[in-house]
Amino acid sequence: MKAIDHFRTITKHHILVRNYCFRAGMYWQGLTHDLSKYSPAEFLVGCRYYQGNRSPNNAEREATGVSMAWLHHKGRNRHHFEHWVDYSLDPDYVIMGARMPKKYIAEMAIDRISASRIYMGDSYTNACPLEYFLKSRDKLWFVEKHTKKELEGLLRILDRYGEDCLLRYIRYGYLKGISWKQYKNKNNY
């Protein structure tokens, strides 16, 4: 039964992300988002640790000390901060976060909206993805500063103006390099 429930959860998430990505004009990302979750390395672990109200990767990490499924996942999906961690050329740091391209920051925001919707169910509000991010923001020392700032900015737009506004901004502003301030003034928000 856990296998069926896990399959339903990841498929529901994939469809939700796909629909949001399509609305934001990110068709390829919508089609290919998180396909590695269907690979044996991730799917079998997801079935084993499935709980329905949070990521099975957290349960695997608690049980074994590491989530091999997560390590597999973040290495194949560029919309995660952790994909962009590399060795630093700066002698003061061992590792560093590289700046993420805008299309992956946008996909990450959409991923967070979708995951929050799936795991929170009826208690979801547009504030939830921002609140979840803010809980860990100061601990994300490895995330490149512009990347962190841009993700927070997108989540703040979601919180204040809603999904429709955020997805329009991603499509017609953010991905084209137009700042929120310019976009907001032009579109009377």
pLDDT tens for each residue of 11-24? 999 999 999 999 99
Does residue 68 lie in a domain region? Answer: no
Cα(102)–Cα(130) distance, integer angstroms: 18
Cα(152)–Cα(12) distance, integer angstroms: 25
What string of DSSP letters covers 82-123? GGGEEE-SSTT-SEEEPPPPHHHHHHHHHHHHHHHHHHHGGG
pLDDT of residue 106: 98
Does residue 63 lie in a domain region? Answer: no
Query: pTM for this structure?
Result: 0.93
Cα(39)–Cα(37) distance, integer angstroms: 6
Profile the chain (189 residues) by mean pLDDT over runs of 10 residues: 93 97 98 97 96 91 97 96 92 90 98 94 96 94 94 98 98 97 91
Residue 67 in 3-state DSSP?
A: coil
Contact 137, 148 (CB under 8 A): yes
pLDDT of residue 179: 96
Does residue 126 lie in a domain region? Answer: yes
Q: 95: which strand partners?
A: 87
Does residue 62 lie in a domain region? Answer: no
pLDDT of residue 188: 84
How many domains are there within the chain?
1
pLDDT of residue 91: 86
The residue assigned the tokens 């499935």 is 50
Give me the torsion for CA of 75, 81, 82, 83, rounded to 10°. 30
> Residue 9 is part of which domain span?
2-34+77-186
Residue 23 has phi, psi (to 5 degrees) of -65, -30
